[in-house]
Amino acid sequence: MLFRKHNSILLCTLLLMLPRLHPAGAQLIACESFAGPAGPLDGSDGGIGWVSTWQDRGSSIATLIEAGGLTHSGLASLPGGAVSEPGYPPESAALTRSFEYAAPRDGRVFVSFLYRPEDGYGTFGGLRLGPDAHSILVGTPRDEFRYGMKMDAGAGASSNVDVEVGVAVFLVVEIRAIEAPARTVHRLFVNATPGAPQPAQADAELIIPGMCALPSNIELANDGGVTTDEIRIGYTWRDVTPTPALLGDMDCDGALTNFDIDPFTLSLTAPAEYEIAFPHCNREHADLNGDGAVDNFDIDPFVALLMND
């Protein structure tokens, strides 16, 4: 009983420290690893940080969550991926999901995802970001043969990386809203190295004049034959390019953020429930003091890790 009381007090203290541990501008906003049950993506509520489920916008081809998924050297990832079946123009897949976040101090957000054209790949695919009237497709713009970005209205920018069927790529886009003069700058990085600093030179850059806005939703968009995986949205480059096996990463999204506090608490107070809620995670990541046990002695090291992150 004394142990439980002491444990409860420490956990309450930890939760009360949350605003100081993670000020706005230094954390993951949302992520989706498609690690949930296999089946249609439409209506799925997997991942963390989202304010809606995946919602179909009139797709004429199916997109399913399937086992397997995509990987990239050094990138934290979980089993599972979103697979859009092959289609025939004008058939397409279009599923959206929304997120919310505090305005970043530097006007920037980052989005990353894994992407692979499959046998039966059509003419375009990727993630569409931003408001409908000014949305940007990041991935393989229609009838382009290199990775890049393109507005529905026509303006675009391409990298020097060719599209190859069956070869996965890791795409990271930095989006910066600038007020004066009003413009939104998109910088694309292809196959960046997880855990390394952001490169100074982007592989492609697209500037939208007259618009100063950051996205609040994404759309998985393609005309078939595409696998999409490991979508991350964050305030910093580090948030969306995480490496695996991070101590204290209790929700297994590859980053140490405020989202790990509830899972850490659950791993201490209800180990069986933690294993059910996070079947792909390792409870031993909560052993922060390295004594071979997950207990109240790991709370202080967990707090210290968060404060220094």
Q: What is the pLDDT of residues 160-204, one digit of tens each?
A: 999 999 999 999 999 999 998 999 999 999 999 998 899 999 999
Q: CATH number of the domain at 28-240, please?
A: 2.60.120
pLDDT tens profile 57-70:
999 999 999 998 99
Partners of 57 in the beta sheet?
A: none
pLDDT tens profile 31-41:
999 988 899 99
Task: Tally helices (H) and strands (E) across the chain.
Answer: 6, 16
Q: In this structure, are residues 176 and 129 in contact, taking their beta carbons and an 8 Å threshold?
A: no
How many Å apart are CA 293 and CA 284, to the nearest integer?
8
Whether omega for the bond prior to residue 90 falls within 30 degrees of 0, making it cis, is yes
Radius of gyration of the chain (CA): 20
Four-residue CA torsion sign, 75, 76, 82, 85: positive
Question: 3-state class of 107 per DSSP?
Answer: coil
Q: Where are the beta strands (DSSP E) in 85-131?
A: 93-98, 108-117, 125-129
pLDDT reported for residue 73: 93
Confidence of residue 212 (pLDDT cuts 50, 70, 90): confident
**Alpha helix (H) residue ranges in the chain:** 2-16, 18-21, 237-240, 261-269, 271-277, 299-308
pLDDT reported for residue 20: 40
The residue with greater pLDDT, 69 or 290, is 69
Confidence of residue 8 (pLDDT cuts 50, 70, 90): very low
What would the two tokens of residue 12 be? 């309450």
Is the pLDDT confidence value at 85 over 60? yes
pLDDT reported for residue 210: 86
pLDDT reported for residue 99: 95
| Position 215, amino acid | P
pLDDT reported for residue 22: 39
The residue with greater pLDDT, 201 or 16, is 201
How many Å apart are CA 136 and CA 150, to the nearest integer?
5
pLDDT reported for residue 309: 60
| Position 6, amino acid | H
pLDDT reported for residue 89: 81
With a CB cutoff of 8 Å and minimum separation 6, the contacts of 228 are 34, 81, 82, 84, 113, 114, 115, 125, 127, 220, 222
Domain ranges of the chain: 2-20+257-308, 28-240
The residue with greater pLDDT, 144 or 253, is 144
Confidence of residue 4 (pLDDT cuts 50, 70, 90): very low
Confidence of residue 25 (pLDDT cuts 50, 70, 90): very low
pLDDT reported for residue 94: 96
pLDDT tens profile 235-274:
999 889 987 767 899 988 777 888 899 999 999 999 999 9
